[in-house]
């Protein structure tokens, strides 16, 4: 389905028939991580819709919009095999009609981490997702936690704008060797793919130290950074931040007390490919263990 109004009508009709809409927004090039989001939506809802839309407004001028991996035929087959009820794949002109001028922006949460390196990115994300939520109506929506900052920003948008959306974050889905699944992994050469494992190694190093009682922010950061520095061609950031407001937590995480949590987030370039990964210390299991559903 390509028409936004027909998409809205289909979701409305499903609810009138007594179904609960489960929605998984994607940019296509689907892999097992996306299919895990679909499986989670099926556990929470009875009418499952997936959008496939490579959103032009979230790409910067020197990013990979034109070359972003696309495989609509393959994606459609995977979704059919998963029993998805509806696939919404609009053209850019349908989502951004001629003369459109509206943008949706969340402040503060979009400033650190990826926001500092991808100006305008999150405004593009929140704008397109707001449009999708306006079309889908009340729904259970599943996003992956690999894009942790994106999930935090969208949760804030949902709360602030009273969208009738139950937003669920799904754990990062990893390959057996620990690499976080991403559509961009197809860009990696064999050597780059091997080097990319440094991200999960860095997260494991910080996780293990935290589990052993380490609460000094800079020490935890340094443990992750050491592994990433050894493999990355360029590092955007390796940061330890509060998992709610994404701000630095001070010298010690939560003063070193019980119940402390912190997000260790990484963004770096391996060859020409930008990769991200993260772990929430005090909440997530050890990064690197394969999660399939």
Q: What digits encode the pLDDT tens for the residues 209-229?
A: 999 999 999 999 999 999 999
The catalytic site residues sit at 34
The domain boundary residue, chosen from 140, 170, 200? 170
Q: Which residue ranges are tagged as binding site?
A: 27-34, 58, 144-147, 150, 173, 181-184
Q: What is the pLDDT of residue 255?
A: 60
Give me the number of domains the chain comprises: 2
3-state DSSP percent of the chain in helix, strand and coil, to 5: 40, 20, 40
Same structural domain, 160 and 225: no
Identify the CA nearest to 240 among candidates 197, 285, 278.
278
What residue numbers does the annotated binding site for beta-alanine cover?
Answer: 58
Does 216 lie in the same domain as 162?
A: no
Q: Is residue 159 part of a domain?
A: yes
pLDDT of residue 257: 53
Residue 75 in any domain: the answer is yes
Q: Based on the domain organization, do 68 and 188 belong to the same domain?
A: no
Q: Which of residues 124, 139, 170 is at a domain's end?
A: 170
Residue 175 falls inside a structural domain: no
Between helix 197-211 and helix 217-229 the angle, nearest 10°, is 160
CATH label of the domain that carries residue 238: 3.30.1300.10
The verdict on 163 and 226 lying in the same domain is no
CB 56 within 8 Å of CB 123: no
Per-residue pLDDT tens for 62-115? Answer: 899 999 999 999 999 999 999 999 999 999 999 999 999 999 999 999 999 999
Q: Is the CB of residue 88 less than 8 Å from the CB of residue 128?
A: no
Q: Are residues 166 and 188 in the same domain?
A: no
Residues 137 and 224 reside in one and the same domain: no
**Does residue 206 share a domain with residue 127?**
no
Q: Are residues 160 and 190 in the same domain?
A: no
Residues 159 and 221 in one domain: no
- The CATH number covering residue 27 comes to 3.40.50.620
For residue 176, being part of any structural domain is answered with: no
Give the pLDDT of the chain (293 residues) as one tens digit per residue: 999 999 999 999 999 999 999 999 999 999 999 999 999 999 999 999 999 999 999 999 989 999 999 999 999 999 999 999 999 999 999 999 999 999 999 999 999 999 999 999 999 999 999 999 999 999 999 999 999 999 999 999 999 999 999 999 999 999 999 999 999 999 999 999 999 999 999 999 999 999 999 999 999 999 999 999 999 999 999 999 999 999 999 999 976 555 789 999 999 999 999 999 999 999 999 997 544 44
Q: Are residues 11 and 143 in the same domain?
A: yes
Query: Within this chain, do residues 80 and 196 fall inside the same structural domain, yes or no?
Result: no
Q: Which residues are annotated as a binding site for ATP?
A: 27-34, 144-147, 173, 181-184
Polymer length in residues for the chain? 293
Q: Which domain holds residue 258?
A: 183-281
């Amino acid at each position: 389905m390509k028409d936004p109004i027909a998409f809205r009508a289909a979701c409305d009709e499903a609810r009138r028939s007594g179904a609960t809409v489960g929605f998984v927004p994607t940019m296509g090039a689907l892999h097992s991580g996306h299919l895990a989001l679909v499986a989670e939506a099926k556990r929470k809802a009875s009418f499952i819709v997936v959008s496939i839309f490579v959103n032009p407004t979230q790409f910067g001028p020197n990013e990979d919009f034109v070359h972003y991996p696309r495989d609509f035929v393959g994606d459609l087959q995977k979704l059919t095999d998963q029993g998805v009820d509806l696939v919404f794949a609009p053209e850019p002109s349908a989502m951004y009609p001629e003369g459109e001028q509206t943008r949706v922006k969340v402040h503060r949460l979009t400033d650190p981490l990826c926001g500092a390196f991808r100006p305008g990115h999150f405004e593009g994300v929140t704008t397109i997702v707001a449009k999708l939520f306006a079309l889908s109506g009340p729904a259970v929506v599943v996003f992956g936690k690999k894009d942790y900052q994106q999930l935090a920003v969208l949760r804030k948008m949902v709360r602030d704008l009273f969208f009738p959306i139950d937003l669920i974050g799904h754990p990062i889905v990893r390959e057996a060797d620990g690499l976080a699944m991403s559509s961009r992994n197809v860009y990696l050469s064999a050597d780059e793919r091997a080097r990319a494992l440094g991200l999960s190694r860095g997260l494991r190093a910080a996780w293990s130290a935290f589990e052993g009682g380490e609460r000094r922010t800079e020490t935890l950061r340094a443990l992750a950074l050491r592994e990433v520095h050894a493999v990355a061609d360029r590092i955007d950031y390796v940061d330890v931040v509060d998992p709610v407001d994404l701000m630095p937590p001070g010298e010690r995480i939560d003063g070193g007390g019980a119940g402390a949590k912190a997000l260790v987030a990484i963004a770096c370039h391996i060859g020409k490919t930008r990769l991200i990964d993260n772990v929430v210390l005090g909440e997530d299991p050890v990064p690197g263990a394969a999660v399939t559903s």
